[in-house]
A and B are shown apart, each in its own frame.
Chain A
Amino acid sequence: MSFVFYILAAITLAGGLAAVLLKNMVHCALAVSIAFAGLAFLFLGLDAQFAGFAQILVYVGAVAILVVFAILLTRSSDTPKDGGVFSRTWLAGLVVAAAVFAVIGWAVLSSVGGLPHEAAVPTVTVLQIGQALMGPYVLPLEIVALLLTVATIGAVIVAIHEKEDAK
């Protein structure tokens, strides 16, 4: 358990917490990108360089930007006048979330004895990943490609549809 892990974990969790707690939506978006970035570095720490860079590209690069756009488009940046940023049932939600954490944490801690301590550092090259994607995982890859295409078109249609109707 290296010092780096604690730092990264702290940054990630802090980013997540800030994203959930901050009032200003733009701040939330920034906080969540920090959390995403922290996670990417955690992936690197786990010797999963490809996944880490993918995480940076997809989340920090694309999803965070999308979120910011959505915030701006829905004018959610200005904090609501009535009430707070939390829903009326926030306490129940908190309790449920705590319960989930308790169960998972309990499951991890109860099985901590059976977990492996150290493992050999796997050397995974991008070549290997590419061969795996084109080899045994080609079918999931194609399906994901299709899914992404459909999602892109679907998102555009969902976002554009009403506007045409309105005119």
Chain B
Amino acid sequence: MTPLAGYLLVAALLFAIGLAGALTRRNAILVLIGIELMLNAANLNLIAFWRYGPHPEALTGMMFAIFSIAVAAAEAAVGLGLVISIHRHAQTADLDEMNRMKG
């Protein structure tokens, strides 16, 4: 078991936990939290591959992770803004009750 594999397994587990949270919680904010966890798991993968990759001096994975963090921050801001807006509209953050887009 190499260190990289350990990091990858941790990342995979974290991703699965995040996905499980996103899929099972009723509260929209928790779903966003789950998604953040999934993003962070991906970041962990990027950093790990950079660290143990063949060309760590190229900074590619590092940069990718940094940009990913920036994008995730933006996503969190917009996502939470949407949650607040929806809450104001429907007086709930419960995803089970949000089915107005039902076909």
Q: Which residues of B contact A109 (CB under 8 A)?
A: 5, 9
Interface residues of B in 59-99 (CB under 8 A from A): 59, 62-63, 65-67, 69-78, 80-85, 87-89, 93-96
Closest B residue to A137 by beta carbon equals B63
In whole angstroms, what is the CA distance A37 to B25 when docked? 23
Contact of B21 among A19, A47, A112 (CB under 8 A): A19
Closest A residue to B65 by beta carbon equals A51
Say which size band chain A's interface belongs to. 35 or more
The contact string, 1 if C-beta is below 8 Å from chain B, for chain A 89-130, is 110111011101100110011001001111110101000110
Q: Which residues of B contact A47 (CB under 8 A)?
A: 51
Contact of B81 among A89, A97, A148, A156 (CB under 8 A): A156
Q: Which residues of A contact B67 (CB under 8 A)?
A: 140, 144
Q: Which residues of B contact A67 (CB under 8 A)?
A: 29, 32-33, 76, 80
The contact string, 1 if C-beta is below 8 Å from chain B, for chain A 32-67, is 100110010011001110110011001100110011
Let me know if B74 and A76 touch, CB within 8 A: no
Q: Which residues of B contact A (CB under 8 A)?
A: 1-10, 12-27, 29-30, 32-34, 36-37, 40, 43-44, 47-48, 50-54, 56-57, 59, 62-63, 65-67, 69-78, 80-85, 87-89, 93-96
Q: Which residues of A contact B (CB under 8 A)?
A: 1, 5, 9, 12-13, 16-17, 19-20, 25, 28-29, 32, 35-36, 39, 42-43, 46-48, 50-51, 54-55, 58-59, 62-63, 66-67, 69-71, 73-74, 76, 80, 83-90, 92-94, 96-98, 100-101, 104-105, 108-109, 112, 115-120, 122, 124, 128-129, 132-133, 137, 140, 144, 147-148, 150-152, 154-156, 158-159, 161-163, 166
